[in-house]
Amino acid sequence: MKNLGLLIISFLIAICLTYFVNSKSSMSSTNLIVPVVTSNLPQNKIVIASSKSQVQVTVKGPSYLLNNVSRQGINLNIKFPDKIGTSFSTKISPNDFHLPSGLEVLNIEPQELTFTLDNLVTKSVPVVVPRIGKLDEMYRLVGFTVEPESVDVTGSELEIKSLTRVQTESVDLRNITENVEQEVKLRQVGSFIKPSKDSVKLKIFIREVQSTKEFKSLNIEIRNQVNKAFDVDFRTVDIMISGPKRDVQMLSIDNIKPYILIDEDTAESKRAKLQVELPKGLELVSVNPKTILLKEKKN
């Protein structure tokens, strides 16, 4: 009998709680902002505009159910028909929200949604790299390539129809002093266009500007490796040097060493080829005279 009494009391308490939870005193209403999602969009179509991306729904019901829905969130799923043109409108009903039993939709704003669609197309367009500034005057551009040279873009036919190129982020040439190979990102080309690649590979090839400079009447150094003394027919020489413009401009006569080497063969032939020691990276263009005649001195 004692257990039966406890069972009856528990049953009565459960009934009271159920009544309390579902009574008007525990009922409330709230406004929910519901995102609009779409499905069943044909593969050859794209949505380019919608009257609203979310709707406001006023819902009434037990507070604990409203709290759960507010916390978990809900979506409004708009399913497109299999055959659709460039515009689609649909009324929104309370059943579209799939709310838990016990909740009632009091109001929906807006009560109708309209979507604008366009054909989904693909087109190949060239890639263009905008340039900022110029190379330093000491360098010359010899190569500027983009891989790939064109990309496919997919999106709204209305936007793609007038699209003639895709641009990358700008490349600043002003501080480039060596060859460059890097990835550059593509800029957004439209609200409803997506390129097949996010970036392309850019290669920039440069070369230092070459220059020439003439030096006249430079003294010739005689490097004698034999036990004989010689007179020479020329003691100065004129030379022309070429190389990177920056290096040539900084070149002085202290960096240039014209000389002849008198060894056994030279001493015998009495002819010495004029040679010039130059800083690395510079080349000898011309020398005058090219050969120095030797005459053995008499004691």
**Domains in the chain and their CATH numbers?**
26-110 (2.170.120), 120-208 (2.170.120.40), 210-296 (2.170.120.30)
| Confidence (pLDDT) at 26 | 73
CA-based torsion, 113, 118, 121, 127: positive or negative: negative
CA-based torsion, 53, 56, 60, 63: positive or negative: positive
| Confidence (pLDDT) at 177 | 93
Residue 263 to residue 247: CA distance in whole angstroms = 33
Residue 129 to residue 199: CA distance in whole angstroms = 11
Burial class (CB in 10 A: 0-12, 13-18, 19+), 63: middle
Calculate ∠ Cα 270-273-275, nearest 5°: 145
| Confidence (pLDDT) at 25 | 47
| Confidence (pLDDT) at 291 | 95
Query: Which of 43, 78, 36 has its CA nearest to residue 57?
Result: 36
CA-to-CA separations, 136 to 132, 211, 248, 251, 264, in angstroms, rounded: 12, 15, 16, 20, 50
**In the chain, what are the helix, strand and coil shares in percent, each to the nearest 5?**
20, 50, 30
Please count the other Cβ atoms lying within 10 Å of the Cβ belonging to residue 224: 15
Instruction: Assess contact for 55 and 76: CB atoms under 8 A.
Output: yes
Low-confidence stretches of the chain (pLDDT < 70) are: 1-25, 299
| Confidence (pLDDT) at 298 | 77
Summary mean pLDDT of the chain: 90
Note the pLDDT tens digit of each residue in 204-244.
999 999 999 999 999 999 999 998 899 999 999 999 999 99
